[in-house]
Chains A and B, each alone.
Chain A
């Protein structure tokens, strides 16, 4: 039973990270129907920012937990700036181009950002300090789940709840939903669509940056390439849950994380990816729009 619980918690942690990145994919897709392949790189840039800020703060002698908070805040600001710029440089000029052009542009940006970070920093693996302090929370739960995992899961839950409330109850959230429903109509009723799209990129990038700092601190190392695989997995999670849907992205990410953890635990880690993608194929066969996705009527 303990083994099952441990795997479950590991899967939940992994799923939480996927969820934080997948939300960005799904939001951007929901609004402008673009798969932002450079999103994984934003996550990576968030992690690098966290590393640099944490290094600076440690040198200045800040206490442990405050480093984590400040590093996350800085990573969020910096990654959001990258997300905003990315949209302005690579996607806005192509807003009315054929669907394939922004996609190619996204892949190009992904490769550009990877190489840029590789040249600006290093291609080596770098150690990432343990920012999440060790603390005991429940006597017998501690062996099953570490404090870092708890913090990651809680941070994800908080982000998801916050985002949902934001979309539901704020004016900008309402504008985002309107833009997602019909961009032209939203424009006609006076919504500043460009601003809404920029806001979407900023919010998505911020969430990815939170994920980047948390996971890097959990596993203790980063390099310029971490965004690629995490991005692919988060994209898979978003498709699994139904791309365009926020709860779908969260659910898809958790399902994917748990599938991988149980496949490793009960079958073999050789088959981790095999099971993950088999699940994707199965879901797409039986529910082509994903778990929570809605069948969309073709606009005529």
Chain B
């Protein structure tokens, strides 16, 4: 009897919750309708709507909000200069919290609002979920931060572009740099983590595809283990001429220290998890000569400097992650509208592929797959206790 009572109580509670949800949903709809009516009223022919989608709330908001700020700054700048062919730019934001299910909602909303260009999404998973909707609706999408390689490389989404280099670009650079050092046999070591192992696997794929260079050892180490002497011995006996490591600096510095103490002077190459001042501090003299790839340095770019200054003036804070990429993406999208003379889908795509635009990440256009040309990684080497770009 007790069980039955509690069951009934549970059902009642559930029913009450459902009702509450329904009520809220209705309220939202009403709000939306009002919103639509309003935009309808303002809607004048001379207007370009720039949709911004991404995580604007929730635990990943710090990745998404800089994109909104970037879009607002670009819109303000262009409007101050008289707009695009006389049309004012308006920024409309949609929150997806980096959740795929909310991302599809956001995409549908963009579609129903008639937005033609979208800056976003932030996370690769959310982007992937939203892309089919944008493709059906012939909306051009450009992400400042979704680095998952298949998003562009699968060729499924000709409407998708990005101003950040995909994950595998770093591995490709790493391998071609290893080749330029004259390495024939490489040991690929990783830390078993998502990031480190992913990077190492990409490196292995690129090396396997190249007959001139081979992987003689592919292994993961346990982060936090007391020492790595056994792995170091293994690298030594594998006959490797160099080491590529995927992972973060604590493991890298332990492995490098162990290698150098055993008089193994072979090149040590790593990723942007190791291109970190802490690595040099911890590995000390053993860090000298270590190569690491990392994002290109844009701090000398004038547009980048202007954008950061504008952000400080407007929001009284330093810009967050992916800000330069987002600023550049907004510039690239709006430039395409200008070149295409409107928001016609085919003309927009054409403009993005063919006309160069000056942005915070350099002068870019987009390749056939949708990745920005010229954006990417650079190789750095520790010299005199500092990372210096290898030219």
Q: CB within 8 Å of B: which residues of A?
A: 3, 6-7, 10-11, 13-14, 17-18, 124-127, 146, 148-149, 215, 218-221, 223, 225-226, 228-230, 233, 260-262, 264-265, 268-270, 272-273
Contact B226 A125 (CB under 8 A): no
Q: State which of A124, A127, A233 has its C-beta within 8 Å of the C-beta of B226.
A: A233
| Known contacts A3-B233, A13-B229, A17-B226: A223-B219 contact under CB 8 Å | no
* Chain A, Cβ-Cβ closest to B263: A143
* Chain B, Cβ-Cβ closest to A10: B229
Answer whether residue B299 sits at the interface, using C-beta atoms and an 8 A cutoff.
no
CA A17 to CA B225, docked complex, whole Å: 12
Q: State which of B230, B282, B284 has its C-beta within 8 Å of the C-beta of A264.
A: B230
Residues of B within 8 A of A219 (CB): 226-228, 254, 257-258
Q: Which of B225, B230, B257, B284 has the most CB of A within 10 A?
A: B230
Size bracket of the B interface: 20 to 34
CA A223 to CA B224, docked complex, whole Å: 10
Contact A7 B222 (CB under 8 A): no
| Known contacts A3-B233, A261-B229: A220-B222 contact under CB 8 Å | no
| Known contacts A3-B233, A215-B227: A126-B222 contact under CB 8 Å | no
Q: CB within 8 Å of A: which residues of B?
A: 192, 219-222, 224-231, 233-234, 236-237, 249-250, 253-254, 257-258, 261-262, 278, 281-284, 286
Contact A221 B254 (CB under 8 A): yes
Contact A265 B234 (CB under 8 A): yes
* Chain A, Cβ-Cβ closest to B220: A270
15 further contact pairs, Cβ within 8 A, besides A215-B227, A265-B234: A6-B233, A6-B236, A125-B250, A127-B281, A146-B261, A219-B228, A220-B282, A220-B283, A221-B250, A229-B226, A269-B220, A269-B221, A269-B222, A269-B234, A272-B230
| Known contacts A220-B257, A264-B230, A265-B233: A127-B283 contact under CB 8 Å | yes
CA A17 to CA B254, docked complex, whole Å: 17
Q: State which of A6, A126, A260, A270 has its C-beta within 8 Å of the C-beta of B192.
A: A270
**How near does chain A come to B159, taking the closest CB pair, in angstroms?**
41
Contact B286 A269 (CB under 8 A): no
Residues of A within 8 A of B284 (CB): 127, 220
| Known contacts A7-B233, A260-B230: A126-B282 contact under CB 8 Å | yes
CA A124 to CA B230, docked complex, whole Å: 25
**How near does chain A come to B89, taking the closest CB pair, in angstroms?**
43
Contact A273 B283 (CB under 8 A): no
Contact B229 A14 (CB under 8 A): yes
Residues of B within 8 A of A18 (CB): 226
CA A260 to CA B234, docked complex, whole Å: 13
Contact B226 A14 (CB under 8 A): yes
| Known contacts A146-B261, A265-B233, A269-B219: A220-B286 contact under CB 8 Å | yes
**How near does chain B come to A221, taking the closest CB pair, in angstroms?**
5
CA A126 to CA B220, docked complex, whole Å: 23
Residues of A within 8 A of B254 (CB): 219-221
Contact A269 B224 (CB under 8 A): no
* Chain B, Cβ-Cβ closest to A5: B233
CA A13 to CA B233, docked complex, whole Å: 14
| Known contacts A125-B278, A126-B282, A127-B281: A218-B227 contact under CB 8 Å | yes
A selection of 7 A-B contacts at a CB cut-off of 8 Å is A11-B230, A219-B258, A220-B257, A261-B229, A264-B231, A265-B230, A269-B220
Contact A264 B286 (CB under 8 A): no
Contact A269 B282 (CB under 8 A): no
CA A228 to CA B224, docked complex, whole Å: 9
* Chain B, Cβ-Cβ closest to A149: B229
CA A11 to CA B230, docked complex, whole Å: 8
Q: Which of B229, B231, B253, B281 has the most CB of A within 10 A?
A: B229
**How near does chain A come to B235, taking the closest CB pair, in angstroms?**
10
Residues of B within 8 A of A14 (CB): 226-227, 229
Residues of A within 8 A of B237 (CB): 3
CA A229 to CA B227, docked complex, whole Å: 11
Residues of B within 8 A of A272 (CB): 222, 225, 230
| Known contacts A126-B282, A127-B281: A10-B253 contact under CB 8 Å | no
CA A223 to CA B223, docked complex, whole Å: 13
Residues of A within 8 A of B221 (CB): 269
**How near does chain A come to B98, taking the closest CB pair, in angstroms?**
26
**How near does chain B come to A2, taking the closest CB pair, in angstroms?**
8
Q: Across the A-B interface, give the 10 residue pairs with the lowest CB-CB distance, nearest first.
A: A10-B229, A264-B230, A261-B230, A229-B224, A127-B282, A6-B233, A220-B257, A270-B220, A221-B282, A3-B237
CA A240 to CA B135, docked complex, whole Å: 60
CA A13 to CA B225, docked complex, whole Å: 13
CA A280 to CA B304, docked complex, whole Å: 57
CA A270 to CA B283, docked complex, whole Å: 24
Residues of B within 8 A of A230 (CB): 226
Residues of B within 8 A of A233 (CB): 226
Contact B283 A223 (CB under 8 A): no
**How near does chain B come to A145, taking the closest CB pair, in angstroms?**
10
Contact B253 A268 (CB under 8 A): no
* Chain A, Cβ-Cβ closest to B248: A125
**How near does chain A come to B49, taking the closest CB pair, in angstroms?**
44
CA A225 to CA B226, docked complex, whole Å: 11
Residues of A within 8 A of B253 (CB): 125, 220-221
Residues of B within 8 A of A265 (CB): 230, 233-234
**How near does chain A come to B240, taking the closest CB pair, in angstroms?**
14
CA A18 to CA B227, docked complex, whole Å: 11
**How near does chain B come to A45, taking the closest CB pair, in angstroms?**
17
CA A270 to CA B234, docked complex, whole Å: 13
